[in-house]
Every structure is written in C-alpha cells, then in structure tokens.
Amino acid sequence: MRAFDGLNFSFDFSKFIKVADLIYFDGPLLSHYISEKGENYLFYWVDADAHANRWIIIRTDIFTIQKYLDKKIPLSSIITSPNDGFVYIVDIDENIQYNNCKIVSIAQLPEDYTPTDDSYYNFNLKDDIDLSAISQKYSSGILEIHIGGRDVRYGSIPLNKFATIIPKIEDIRKSMSSKYIKNHKKGITDKTNKQNIERELRLDTQYEYMYSLAGSIRIILKPINQQIAFGETYADDFAKEFVGLFVSGYSKGNILKYSELYDKQTIKKYNDFISFLHTEGLSFGLKWCNISSQISICEQINIDDTHKILTNLSDFEYDDKEEIKVEGKFYSLNVRTGSYSFESIEGDDFKSTGFLDETRKQVAFGISFNKTYQVIIERKVTEQIGRKEKIKDTIISFEEKRENIDS
C-alpha cells in the first residue's frame, strides 16, 4: 500500500460499536459505527496488502447516512464533505490492531480512494450488529430490541409508534418478572437467603437503557445487576423466557405453556402488543447474548405473521376455577332445573346466578327465601383473548345458618 503524508494521531477506534455493514461483498466494504459518545462514523475500505486492510474513517451524522441510503446523495459527497473537514486513514491488521493512523485532508486523498460521482446506494443492507462484542465489553448479558416495518427508516421511527411500543414491552416484562420472582422464591425457608435471592432476581429481571442504534431501530439494554458471573445466571434464564414469550403466538401449545407459567394478564398484554404491531405494520425482533455463559438467542416477528399469531391467540381459551364461600340468601330458584340466584348479606354486593349441582338439586325443595345459607360456589371462568369472559357458577354445597338464641 502507498505511503501517506498526514498528521499522525493516536485514537482507540476499537471501542467503537458497529451498527451495520452498509456494503458487504466477501466482507464489509462500508460500515456504520458509533462512538461511546454516540457520534456516527463510516468506515470505507480502500486498499489492502498481505498484512492489513486500509480504511478511510469519516465522521458524519445519521441524517446524511439516511440520505445516502435513500439514494439522494452519492457516497462520494459524504467522503469529500466530512463533518470534520478531514478524514482518518488507518490500517487494520489481522489482529484488529490500528496502525499508521493519520489525519488527512480531502485534497490529499488519491483519486482511486474516492468513489465516483454516481456512487449512489445500490446494495442489500446487511442489517446486523455484533452483540457478543458489546456483551464482552460490559461483562454482561445484552438485550437488543429491533423494530422495523412501515414508516421505520434507518435510524428513525414516528414518535407515536415509538412512544407506544416501548411501554407495552415494559408492561409485559413487569408482569413476567413479578411471576418469575414469585416462582423462584418458592421453597426457600431461610429468611436471609430468601431476601438475597429476591434482590438478585429483581436486578436480573430489570433492564437499563444503554443506547439506541440505527439500522431500522435498535435499542440496547442490559440487566441492572452489576455483578460479573461466569456461568448461566437468572438473567439468562429470564431472558430465555422473555424472548420466548414474544414468539409463543406461533404455536397454540406455547401459548398454553406461557399461560400456565405466568397468568392471563401477561397473555392479554402480549395480545395487545401483537395487535399494535399488526395495526401499525411493524416487525419486531429480540436478541439476547451473554458471552460469559455462551448463550445467544434470536427471535423475530415478521409483519406478515402478526395475523397468524392473533388468530392463534383468539382461538385460545382460559379455563380458571375457584371456590367461593359466602353467606347470603336465595332470591330466585327453579327446583325443576336447579337454576338459582343468590346474593351475599356480608355487605360486599356479591351476587351469583347459576345452577345447583345434582346432589343439591335433589334437596332444593327445602330451600327457603327468608333463611340465610352458607354456600360454596364453584366458579368457572372461560375467556377468549380479546373477548368478554364467561362465568359459570355451580353451587356444590349449602348449609342453613341458624341464629344463636340465648337460653
């Protein structure tokens, strides 16, 4: 490679985070990076020898990159009009070491280092980032939320969509976290140990925002827990559950599994989330990577699949049962069919309408409207997602309550 005049400098570009490869052919040729301060840089490959690849590094902004991807400006105009008024040239060897770093004015660039005036974007965007590098950097598991679809461009999304989708994701996480912690505390009798585990669980199942990346819309999060672990953690286990829930709608069996592990409120929130994706024409992806425990999970909801998921959810029914013990009076009764209406006298406005079971039906003729009874009602609640719940009450026991009379 040719020798270059320029101002020598030392800068650790290795701390930059790759957002996406914009041009890729047998390797990256043009890549988008951000610095720790959130500044945008393009790395443009220009030369190579047996020892290293040479790159021009240009500081730019997300709006310029978007204009380039929209074919409104050529790559040549970005390189010849950098934000700093100059570019950086570095040679990166096979060990990812940055050598011969120089600051070079635009006038010093050789003609073959600059694209032609018609260098408009005409490639397939390799929209991916290296989560393992971020995980290694922060010694933590990393969660990536990826939003794409209608009106979502490279690094931009309408505010009404962004402001709605993030709270919906957090509602699902909170609902799952609460149940997850409760399940993992079961069976722990030692009070101090229980408190320590609960604290660890809360830190491992809550996320903090790190930064947003372009490339559709990407949000990078990490667990609040700052402790470094070298094996699988609660954070890994919860992330598997969390990521898995979002694609559970592809299978009715998985919907049933998550409804049993968590509760119907979680599934309702999930249904609401998928409905929003469907209405707004959005795709959604989740990735979890923890380099320490060597765990990597990646799931995607495509725009065309939201209708299928909603159909699976609408076909799914909850069937919850509970027993209710209450004192009150009957105010209607059909001894032939066993149908009844009953109301509480305990000041809670509780009312029940249903049927006596077969055993109670046989003795229904003895029930009096002016007497008080203690009844046990078996309540079965059936509910389809997005529809009103159906309640079926059956009295499985009743006993007359006799007043105590002082002798």
Residue range 98-153, pLDDT digits in tens: 888 899 999 888 888 999 999 999 887 766 677 887 888 888 999 999 999 999 98
Q: Answer yes or no: are the C-beta atoms of 108 and 243 closer than 8 Å.
A: no
Model confidence at 386, pLDDT cuts 50, 70, 90, reads low
Type of residue found at 5:
D
Rg (CA), the chain: 31
Model pLDDT, residue 405: 47
The per-residue pLDDT for 371 is 94
* Residue range 210-228: mean pLDDT, rounded: 82
* Residue range 319-400, CATH number: 2.40.50.500
Any idea where the domains of the chain sit in the sequence?
7-113, 131-315, 319-400
For the record, the structure tokens of 235 come out as: 């954070």
Residue 389: is its pLDDT beyond 80? Answer: no
Calculate the average pLDDT of the chain: 89
> To 10 degrees, the CA torsion angle through 356, 360, 362, 363?
-120
CA of 334: how far to CAs of 50, 310, 331, 357, in Å? 94, 42, 11, 13
Euclidean distance between CA atoms 81 and 58, whole angstroms: 9
Query: 34: Cβ–Cβ under 8 A, 6 or more apart, which residues?
Result: 16, 17, 19, 40, 41, 211, 213
User: From the CB of residue 396, how many other CB atoms can be counted at a distance below 10 Å?
Assistant: 13
Residue bearing tokens 């989560």: 131
pLDDT for residue 127: 61
HSE-CB at 233 with a 13 A cutoff on CA atoms is 28
pLDDT value, residue 407: 40
Rounded mean pLDDT, 9-31: 85
